[in-house]
Every structure is written in C-alpha cells, then in structure tokens.
C-alpha cells in the first residue's frame, strides 16, 4: 500500500463518526484512558499491509521532546555516507616571526574527549598528538603556543527557541566546532544539615574563569533539583534550586562554556609532561589566515556515524543529536549552523513523507517549540523500514526491557524485546515510538504522544505501557 493510500485512510478515519480510537480487525477494546485532560496523538500501522491498527488525533501536532531524535538520526543515516567520520586536524605552523605553533582545526566532532569510546578518551588522543610531534616530526618546542580554528561552525552558538533553564546545564550544551568531553563541567556543592539553608560551591572541574552566584538551598529529599544558569558570553553565572541536605560534596553538571579552550589547555599540559616545550599563548584564528607555512601532523577520526547515532537514540544524547543536525546542514547546504541544519532536516522528511507537517528548531528535541504529529512519526518510521538503511537504523534503537531509554518498560516475560524505539519526555510531555513485534508476528510502526497531562509521570507511563502490551497481544 502506498504512503498516499495510508494518509487517505488516516484522513477518513479521523474525519468520520467512529470512536476517538479506531482499531482494525480486532474486537477487543484497547485501553483508551491514557490521559484524562492531556492532548494525545496516537497511531499504529501494520508496516506490511498499511492497515491502521489504532488511531487518535494522528494529525495533531505535539511537542515531541526527544522523539525528535528519530527524525535527526533517520535523516543522518540516510543522507551521510556510511563511512562518514568527523575529523579534528592538528597542524604545525611555521610563522613569519620564526615561531612554531600548534594549530587545532575543529571539525565538529561531538565525541572528542568522550569516555564512551576508547579511541576518543582524552589521554589516548593526546598521546597520538604527542607521538606525531615527537616521533614523526621531531618537534620538541612549540614556542608560539596553540591556535584554535573554530571556523567550520558559523552563526550563533545558542538556538533561538530553547528555554533559559536548559542553556547552562549539561543536557543543554550546544555544538562547538571543537566540542570536548561532551561539553560538560562538574560543579561540587556542600550542603549543611537542615532544610532551606544556603549551600556553598566547593569547586568546578575543570576550573573555570567564571564567578558563580550560589542560591542553592538544602532540602529534605534526595533529588538533584539544582539548575545552572549562564551562557559562554557571561562572566557571572548563578545556580539555584535545591540539593539534599548534609552533603559534603554533591556534584551537578553544567554546559562547558568554552570547550575548545579547555581542550587546548589540557593538551598543552599533557605535551609539556611528554617533554615538549610549550608556549602559553592561546589564540583563535582560521588556518587559512595564518601567515607562514602549515603542514598537518595528525588527524583524529571519530567513531563511525552508526556508533554516533546509536548513542543518540539509545542514550538520548542531546549534544550528539545537535551535532548531527549541523552535519546535515553542511552536507545539504555547505554550512554548519542551526538554520541550515533545521532547513536540511525539514527538507529531507518533506521529500520522503507526503504531507509531512513536522516543525523543528533543533535536532535533539530540547526545544519545546518543536512540533510533530503521530502521523509524521509513523510515516517516517515506515519510510525507514522500507529503505536500504532499515537494519542500520533499527540497530540504533533501544530494546524494551533491555537497554537504552526503553529498558524500564515491558520487562515482563512475553513483552521484553517486543518493542524497539525511543522515548521522549520533558515537563508535561511523554511519548514513545518505534516498532512493535506482535504476538502473531506482525510488525507495527507506532507513536504515542501526550502533552499537557495532569497525571503523574508514573501513571501515564503505565497507561502507555498497557496500550503497547495490548497492541502486542491483540495483533
């Protein structure tokens, strides 16, 4: 059945006088009461026949939260070459002033310095650079210091439609041409015994040239409810909220303001320990504008795009997803920034799914202004399932009851492993999407989204899980 036929079926179902939920070829009712007051958009389709299994407001656009990553990774896998890897290049510049400089050219690698992969750990990258300088080039002195070339990313660093409370926290870290350690720093706090008492900041790792105004109070619960507020352009940040009382060292994570400088400084310290004399200068300049001669001494390659997309979907990694969005902008329009990334992502899915209504402002789903319908999602999942990228894409998804963002649901015998996909949540938003393997061996593409719900997260999740179980058992 063609995509146009599926859309026509969904249209007539949604416009007819049938019940709010429509189900095909099944006399047993599905658990319908997901949310009493919240907005819902639900659709499940048999990927082989195109039959609509269940539907409710499938054309209604919703805030998808991290379900957005399905669109970003799907487009990335389908658009970028299978051997695509990010590159960070290291050059030696012999200046007209007779000084030697180490030039680091960022290539937008989100994994640089991450502990998720052995080859991206800082010590391993630094050792490769040191060996290249000492053994291959015989360089023992870099008296001109380090030059950072961040020119591969242009435009504003911060997206226009992101909440202020997200910007300074680790999950809101934004792409940098020279991202490092997933653009995260750690801030240690001390809390006194008692409730509502002021807490103090002990230190940050790494050390930052930022003044922090600590407004955090101690609390009786064990939750981390502290938020960091600031942007790279600000010299003074503040921290507010609460942390558990009576803690001598309680750590929260923030968005590293200048990851490129942190990388350069840590590399400098490492090279000095390896016996290379390093100047202390740190400057920003494009390699093409540097006077003198340049030659590349080492190129670091990221893990494959398949491994990157697997982290995005299984770990719901925001920074990696936004880096991938920038890569789509570069691949499609020759420019890595928010506007071109969003334009490329939207254009890709409009070219694959007739009537696609998705609206994006980032690649990770952190913006509450992203908007997609269950129909947008399911039709995109159907397209991926029919494409040559089917197996690669599915391997990036979480397995219910087993791993990733779905490991906490469908853990019972008979349901574990029956769903692969993605979850998405933020304040007032919860959703699940992916592929369901039914009891009779059918494969369904599905999406369940709720916005502005009043139930507890636990209750709504249980309701959605019950619906997924019904789809498994009754088909």
* Angle of CA points 265, 271, 275, to nearest 5°: 145
pLDDT tens digit sequence for 419-453: 999 999 999 999 999 999 999 999 999 999 999 99
pLDDT at 15 over 70: no
Residue 24: the pLDDT is 46
- DSSP, collapsed to helix, strand or coil, labels residue 185 as strand
CB 443 within 8 A of CB 48: yes
Domain 87-154+259-303 class, CATH top level: alpha beta
**CA distance linking residue 327 with residue 336, whole number of Å:** 6
Q: Which residues pair with 168 in a beta bridge?
A: none
For residue 58, give the DSSP letter. Answer: T
**Structure confidence by residue, pLDDT tens digits, 74-128:** 999 999 999 999 999 999 999 999 999 999 999 999 999 999 999 999 999 999 9
- Could you list the beta-strand ranges (E) of 24-64: 39-46, 52-56
Note the pLDDT of residue 33.
79
CATH fold of the domain at 3-81+306-473 = Beta-lactamase (3.40.710)
pLDDT in tens, 99-112: 999 999 999 999 99
Q: Write the pLDDT tens digit of every residue in 152-171.
A: 998 788 898 999 999 999 99
Residue 14 pLDDT > 60? no
Partners of 13 in the beta sheet?
none
pLDDT at 157: 86
SS3 5: helix
Q: Answer whether residue 474 shows pLDDT above 80.
A: yes
Q: Answer whether 373's CB lies under 8 Å from 59's CB.
A: yes
Task: Quick: pLDDT tens for 192-241.
Answer: 999 999 999 999 999 999 999 999 999 999 999 999 999 999 999 999 99
pLDDT at 1: 46
CA end-to-end distance (rounded Å), the chain: 19
Query: What's the CA gap between 268 and 206, in Å, rounded?
Result: 14
Per-residue model confidence (pLDDT) at position 160:
87
Answer whether residue 7 shows pLDDT above 70. Answer: no
Strands 146-149, 100-105: parallel, antiparallel or unpaired by DSSP?
parallel
**Residue that has been written with the tokens 């998720």 in this structure:** 116
User: Is residue 11 pLDDT above 60, yes or no?
Assistant: no
Q: What is the Cα gyration radius of the chain?
A: 25
Mean pLDDT of 180-191: 98
Residue 16, pLDDT score: 36
Cα–Cα nearest to 472, from 424, 430, 413? 413
Cβ atoms of residues 466 and 455 within 8 Å? no
Asked whether the predicted pLDDT for residue 139 surpasses 80, the reply is: yes
Which tens digit of pLDDT belongs to each residue from 29-41?
A: 788 679 999 999 9
Tens-place pLDDT, residues 370-396: 999 999 999 999 999 999 999 999 999
Give how far Cα 228 sits from Cα of 166, 173, 206, 214, 217, Å: 8, 12, 15, 9, 13
pLDDT value, residue 27: 59
More confident residue, 11 or 141: 141
Give 125 or 19, the one with higher predicted confidence.
Answer: 125
Q: What does the mean pLDDT of the chain come to?
A: 93
- Please tell me the distance from the alpha carbon of residue 462 to that of residue 246, in angstroms, as a whole number: 34
Asked if pLDDT for residue 188 goes beyond 60, the answer is yes
3-81+306-473 and 87-154+259-303, same CATH topology: no
Q: Are strands 146-149 and 184-191 parallel, antiparallel or unpaired?
A: unpaired
Extents of the domains making up the chain: 3-81+306-473, 87-154+259-303, 181-255
């Amino acid at each position: 059945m063609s995509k146009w036929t599926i859309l026509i079926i969904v249209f007539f179902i949604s416009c007819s006088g049938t019940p709010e939920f429509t189900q095909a070829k099944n006399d047993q009712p599905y658990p319908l009461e997901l949310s009493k007051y919240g907005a819902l958009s639900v659709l499940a389709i048999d990927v082989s026949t195109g039959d609509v299994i269940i539907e409710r407001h499938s054309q209604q656009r919703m805030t998808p939260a991290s379900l957005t990553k399905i669109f970003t990774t799907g487009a990335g896998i389908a658009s970028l070459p299978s051997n695509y890897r990010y590159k960070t290049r290291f050059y030696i510049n012999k200046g007209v002033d007779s000084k030697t400089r180490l030039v680091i050219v960022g290539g937008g690698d989100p994994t640089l310095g991450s502990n998720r992969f052995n080859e991206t750990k800082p010590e391993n990258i630094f050792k490769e650079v040191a060996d290249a300088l000492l053994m291959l080039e015989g360089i023992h002195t870099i008296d001109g210091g380090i030059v950072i070339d961040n020119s591969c990313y242009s435009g504003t660093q911060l997206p226009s439609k992101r909440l202020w409370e997200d910007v300074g926290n680790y999950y809101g870290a934004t792409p940098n041409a020279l991202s490092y350690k997933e653009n995260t720093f750690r801030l240690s706090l001390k809390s006194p015994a008692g409730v509502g008492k002021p807490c103090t900041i002990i230190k940050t790792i790494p050390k930052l040239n930022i003044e922090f105004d600590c407004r955090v109070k101690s609390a009786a619960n064990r939750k981390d409810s502290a938020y960091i507020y600031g942007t790279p352009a600000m010299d003074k940040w503040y921290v507010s909220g609460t942390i558990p009382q009576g803690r001598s060292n309680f750590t929260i994570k923030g968005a590293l303001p200048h990851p490129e400088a942190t990388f350069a400084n840590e590399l400098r310290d490492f090279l000095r320990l390896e016996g290379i004399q390093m100047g202390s200068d740190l400057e920003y300049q494009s390699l093409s504008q540097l006077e003198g001669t340049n030659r590349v001494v080492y190129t670091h390659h990221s893990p494959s795009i398949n491994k990157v997309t697997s982290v995005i979907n299984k770990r719901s990694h925001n920074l990696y997803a936004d880096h991938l969005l920038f890569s789509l902008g570069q691949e499609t329009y020759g420019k890595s920034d928010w506007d071109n990334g969003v334009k490329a992502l939207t254009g890709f899915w409009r070219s694959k799914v007739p009537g696609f209504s998705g609206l994006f402002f980032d690649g990770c789903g952190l913006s509450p202004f992203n908007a997609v319908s269950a129909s947008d999602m399911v039709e995109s999942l159907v397209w991926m399932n029919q494409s040559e990228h089917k197996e690669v894409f599915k391997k990036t998804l979480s397995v219910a009851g087993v791993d990733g963002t779905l490991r906490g649901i469908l853990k019972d015998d008979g349901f574990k492993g029956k769903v692969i996909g993605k979850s998405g949540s933020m304040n007032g938003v919860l959703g699940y999407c992916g592929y369901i393997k039914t009891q009779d061996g059918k494969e369904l593409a599905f999406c369940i989204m709720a916005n502005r719900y009043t139930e507890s997260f636990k209750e709504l999740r249980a309701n959605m899980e019950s619906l997924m179980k019904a789809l498994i058992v009754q088909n």
